[in-house]
């Protein structure tokens, strides 16, 4: 699905939620539990990680409310924040066994998103926007809808991260009004840093960047 279609899907679903119509399957119990801070049984996350996940969820909830989302949409956004790093403290050696062979070439630090999305799907979660957001929160995706972009931004901008506090505070304040521009700045900074440090930039991140600058 193109990013335009994903965004349209988000828009229509968001609109229907406001009208009280249900076009998405009922929220899965694992997603509802995550929105309340309860993790799946397979999660591997220490105390510091849990605090980061809570801060990301709080930020996403705030943005969702500012965007006019209500009810289960708020729960989805909170759940994305809680679930995205549910496997972050598992070792790549453990996570590789969850992944299909075609994903073994990902940077090992990026294994935890796809692995969590696979286990959520195995548990019956079918919310594609949420799964995509969790799966590619580390590298980005050209197919992100609004939730994917918001999770990517919240993960980078949450107030517990060290460094560039003023810059991140300003971006946080703009995110609900100007999400695409804020995400574009985050990706630009990330690519810029890696190019200057002569580090590789993953093709998925380049694809994400291209989708953002083509859309703006």
* Interacting residue ranges for Fe ion, rule: CB under 5 A: 85, 155
- Long-range interactions of 200-207: CB distance < 8 A, separation 24+: 202/106, 202/107, 202/110, 202/139, 204/136, 204/139, 204/140, 204/141, 204/142, 205/139, 205/140, 207/140, 207/141, 207/142
**C-alpha angle with apex 54: 158 to 75, nearest 5 degrees?**
105
C-alpha–C-alpha distance, residues 205 and 184, integer Å: 11
Rg for the chain, CA atoms, rounded: 16
Q: Nearer to Fe ion by C-beta: 29 or 107?
A: 107
206 HSE (CA, 13 A, CB side) = 6
Whichever of 85 and 127 has its CB closer to Fe ion, that residue is 85
Enter the tokens of residue 53. Answer: 């996940």
Alpha-carbon distance 1 to 4, whole Å? 8
CB of 158 to Fe ion, least distance (A): 8
Minimal distance, residue 138 CB to Fe ion, in Å: 5
Shortest distance in whole angstroms from residue 165 CB to Fe ion: 18
Q: What is the nearest approach in angstroms of Fe ion to the Cβ of residue 94?
A: 15
Query: Whole-number minimum distance, CB 137 to Fe ion, in Å?
Result: 6
Residue number with CB closer to Fe ion (82 or 125): 82
């Amino acid at each position: 699905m193109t990013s335009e279609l994903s965004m349209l899907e988000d828009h229509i679903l968001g609109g229907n939620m406001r009208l009280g119509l249900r076009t998405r399957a009922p929220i899965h119990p694992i997603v509802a539990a995550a929105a309340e801070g309860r993790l799946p049984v397979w999660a591997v996350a220490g105390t510091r990680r849990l605090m980061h996940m809570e801060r990301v969820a709080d930020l996403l909830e705030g943005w969702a409310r500012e965007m006019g989302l209500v009810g289960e949409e708020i729960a989805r956004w909170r759940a994305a924040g809680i679930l995205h790093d549910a496997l972050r403290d598992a070792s790549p050696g453990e996570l590789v066994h969850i992944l299909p062979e075609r994903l073994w070439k990902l940077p090992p630090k990026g294994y935890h998103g796809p692995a969590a999305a696979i286990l959520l799907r195995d548990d019956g979660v079918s919310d594609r926007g949420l799964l995509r957001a969790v799966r590619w929160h580390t590298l980005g995706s050209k197919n992100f809808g609004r939730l994917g972009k918001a999770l990517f931004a919240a993960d980078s901008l949450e107030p517990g991260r060290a460094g560039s506090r003023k810059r991140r505070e300003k971006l946080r304040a703009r995110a609900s009004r100007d999400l695409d521009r804020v995400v574009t700045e985050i990706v630009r900074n990330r690519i810029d840093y890696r190019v200057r440090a002569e580090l590789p930039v993953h093709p998925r991140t380049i694809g994400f960047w291209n989708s953002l600058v083509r859309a703006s």
